[in-house]
Structure 1
C-alpha cells in the first residue's frame, strides 16, 4: 500500500510517498481502508519535530481519518465489514490503510460524505469539549471567540451558535470578519486596533462575556479576562499569536470567574466515552444540515507537500483534506 512518510524533520520537504507493508488488525483493532484524511496545522509541527508528540522516523502524519472497515481483529464487536467510520489517531493517517483501536471509531451515517467526516474530529471536537465540557455553555449566553476566522475559531463560532449562544468574533481584518460572519458570528471586534475590554462590555450592555474561547493568547488574553461577566469562564485553547500571556489571577477573584485549559487530545485519551458522545452530536448536526463544515481544498495523497504548505503559510479558509484511492 502507499503511505506518505516523514523521513526527516523538514516539514513538507521531508515527506515522500512510498509503498509500505500493509498493517493488520490486532486484538481489539479494526483495519480501515482510508478514503480521506483531515490535515491540521499540527501536522506542520509534527513533521518538524515541534509538536507535543514526537514519533520516531519515519512516520505518516495525519491525525484525522475517515474510511471503510476492511477487517476486524479478535474481540471486536458491533463493527462489521463495510462500515463507514472516522477516527482521531494522533498520526499515521496519511496512508491507504491504518489499524485503529475499535474504541476510537465513530460511525458515519450514509448521508455524510467521508471527505467531510475526515475533517470533523480536531476542530469540532475541540469546540465541543471546550464549550460544552469545560465552558458549560448555556443557551442565551454570550461567547467571545478569538481567531474566529481560523479553523478552530470558525468551529467554535458554529458550535456556539448551535448551542444557542450569541457569538462575538474577534478578527484582524474585514476579510476575516466576513469569514466569521459566514460561520454565524453575531458581532465583530477588530483586533489589534481596539480596546477589547471596552468593546465587549459595549456589546453586552456593560455585563461582559459569559465565555471566552481564546485561540490566540498574546495581547488579547488579559483584556478579555477583564471583560468577563460575573462567574464567566475563560477557555485557554491555543496561542496562535505566539506569546503565552501572564494573567494576574486577582482578576478571576474579582469576577468570581474561572480559567480552564482545553487540552482536547488528552481529554480524548482520558474520556473516550465523552469524546464519542460529542462527536456523535457533531456528526448528527452535519447529517441534519445544521452544521456545514467548510472545505478549503481536496488534495490527492501524492500532493501532501502542497497541502501542508497551504497550512504552514496559513492560507486555508476551511479544511484541507487528502483524498486516498478511488
Structure 2
C-alpha cells in the first residue's frame, strides 16, 4: 500500500510517498481502508519534531481518518466489514490502510461524507472539551475566539452558539471574518499581524474590550498564542476562563498580575491526553457532537480537498496559517 512518510526531520517537502506492507488487524483492532484524512496543526509540528509526541521514523503524519472497515480483529463486537467509520490516530493517517483501536472508533452515519467525518474528532473534540470541561461555558456567556477561522476556531464558534453564548470571533483577514460570520459569530475583530509594540498591543486590547462589551469575555478560547494572548486576557471578565489551546503564533508570555486583577483562570486544553486518560467522558462528548451534528447545530467546514500526492501542499498551507476551516486529503 502507499504511505506518505516522514523519513527525516523537516517540513512538508521532506515527506516521501512510499510502498509499504499493509497492516493486519490484531485483537481489539479494526483495519480501515482510508478514504479521507484531515490535516491538523500537529501534522505540521510532528514532522519537525516540535510536537509533544515524537514517534520513531519512518512514520506518516495524519491524526484523524474516515474510511471503510476491511477486517475486524479478534474479540471485536459491534463492527462488520463494510461499516463506515471515523477514528483519531494521533499520527499515521496518511496511508491507504490503517489499523485503529475498535474502542476509539465511531460509526459515520450515511448522510455525512468521508471528508466531513475526517474533520470532526480533533477540532470539535478539542473545542467541546475546551468549552465544556475547561471553560464551563453556559448560556448568556460572552465567548472570544482567537484564530476563529481555523478548524478548531470555527468549531468553537459553532459550539459557543449551540450553548447559547454570544460569540466574538477574532481573525486576521476579512475573508476569515466572513467565514466566522457564516458559522454564527455575532461580531468579529480583525487583528493585524504580530509582532506588536506596546501601543499596538494596547490598541488590540481596546478592540477586544469594545467587542466583548463592558463586562468582558467570560471565556476566551486562544488557539493562536504569541502577541495576541495578552491583549485578549486584558479583555477578560471577572472570574473569566482563559483557555490555552494552541500556539501557531508562538508561546505567549503573560503578565501574571493580570490574572490577579481579573481573578481569572488560565486553563490548559490538551484534548489528546484527556481522551486517553478519561475515555468515557470523551466518548460522551463525541456522542454529544453527533447529536449536535444531526440537529444541524454544527457542521464540519471542509474548505479544500487534496489528492493523496498533494498532501504536503495541504500541510504547508495549514502551517502558513492560510487555511480556512478544514483541509482534507482524499485517499
TM-score interval, smaller chain: over 0.9
Distance 1:204 1:216, change over 3 A: closer
CA distance in structure 2 between the partners assigned to 1:124 and 1:46 by the alignment: 20
Give the number of equivalent residue pairs. 323
Distance 1:199 1:305, change over 3 A: closer
Counterpart for residue 249 of structure 2:
241
Deviation at 1:199, TM superposition (A): 3.7
CA distance in structure 2 between the partners assigned to 1:67 and 1:309 by the alignment: 24
Matches within 5 A, 1:140-179: 140-179=140-179
Residue 292 (structure 2) pairs with residue 303 (structure 1): no
Deviation at 1:205, TM superposition (A): 4.5
Distance 1:309 1:223, change over 3 A: closer
Distance 1:204 1:116, change over 3 A: closer
Matches within 5 A, 1:84-163: 84-163=84-163
Deviation at 1:305, TM superposition (A): 2.3
Deviation at 1:203, TM superposition (A): 4.0
Deviation at 1:204, TM superposition (A): 4.7
Matches within 5 A, 1:310-321: 310-321=317-328
CA distance in structure 1 between the partners assigned to 2:296 and 2:61 by the alignment: 30
Deviation at 1:213, TM superposition (A): 0.5
Please say if residues 106 and 276 of structure 1, whose CA atoms lie closer than 8 Å, have aligned partners that are also in contact. no
Distance 1:313 1:197, change over 3 A: closer
Q: Normalising to structure 2: TM-score of the pair?
A: 0.91
Distance 1:247 1:88, change over 3 A: farther
Of residues 22-31 and 71-80 in structure 1, the stretch that sits farther from structure 2 once superposed is 71-80
CA distance in structure 2 between the partners assigned to 1:305 and 1:224 by the alignment: 33
Deviation at 1:167, TM superposition (A): 0.4
Please say if residues 215 and 239 of structure 1, whose CA atoms lie closer than 8 Å, have aligned partners that are also in contact. yes
Deviation at 1:196, TM superposition (A): 4.2
Counterpart for residue 57 of structure 1:
57
Matches within 5 A, 1:29-48: 29-48=29-48
Partner secondary structure for residue 66 of structure 2: strand
Please say if residues 158 and 183 of structure 1, whose CA atoms lie closer than 8 Å, have aligned partners that are also in contact. yes
Distance 1:312 1:207, change over 3 A: closer
Distance 1:101 1:256, change over 3 A: same
Counterpart for residue 212 of structure 1:
220
Please say if residues 117 and 283 of structure 1, whose CA atoms lie closer than 8 Å, have aligned partners that are also in contact. no
Counterpart for residue 289 of structure 1:
296
Please say if residues 208 and 231 of structure 2, whose CA atoms lie closer than 8 Å, have aligned partners that are also in contact. no
CA distance in structure 2 between the partners assigned to 1:106 and 1:35 by the alignment: 15
Q: Normalising to structure 1: TM-score of the pair?
A: 0.92
CA distance in structure 2 between the partners assigned to 1:217 and 1:32 by the alignment: 36
Deviation at 1:252, TM superposition (A): 2.8
Deviation at 1:7, TM superposition (A): 1.8
Offset from partner CA, 1:167-206 (integer Å, 9 cap, x none): 0112233232222212211112232456344344444542
Deviation at 1:72, TM superposition (A): 1.6
CA distance in structure 1 between the partners assigned to 2:316 and 2:228 by the alignment: 27
CA distance in structure 1 between the partners assigned to 2:264 and 2:324 by the alignment: 33
Counterpart for residue 263 of structure 1:
270
Unaligned 5+ segments in structure 1 are none
Residue 21 (structure 2) pairs with residue 14 (structure 1): no
Unaligned 5+ segments in structure 2 are 193-199
CA distance in structure 2 between the partners assigned to 1:205 and 1:143 by the alignment: 11
Please say if residues 64 and 88 of structure 2, whose CA atoms lie closer than 8 Å, have aligned partners that are also in contact. yes
CA distance in structure 2 between the partners assigned to 1:292 and 1:89 by the alignment: 21
Root-mean-square deviation (Å): 1.9
Please say if residues 212 and 235 of structure 2, whose CA atoms lie closer than 8 Å, have aligned partners that are also in contact. no
Partner secondary structure for residue 228 of structure 2: helix
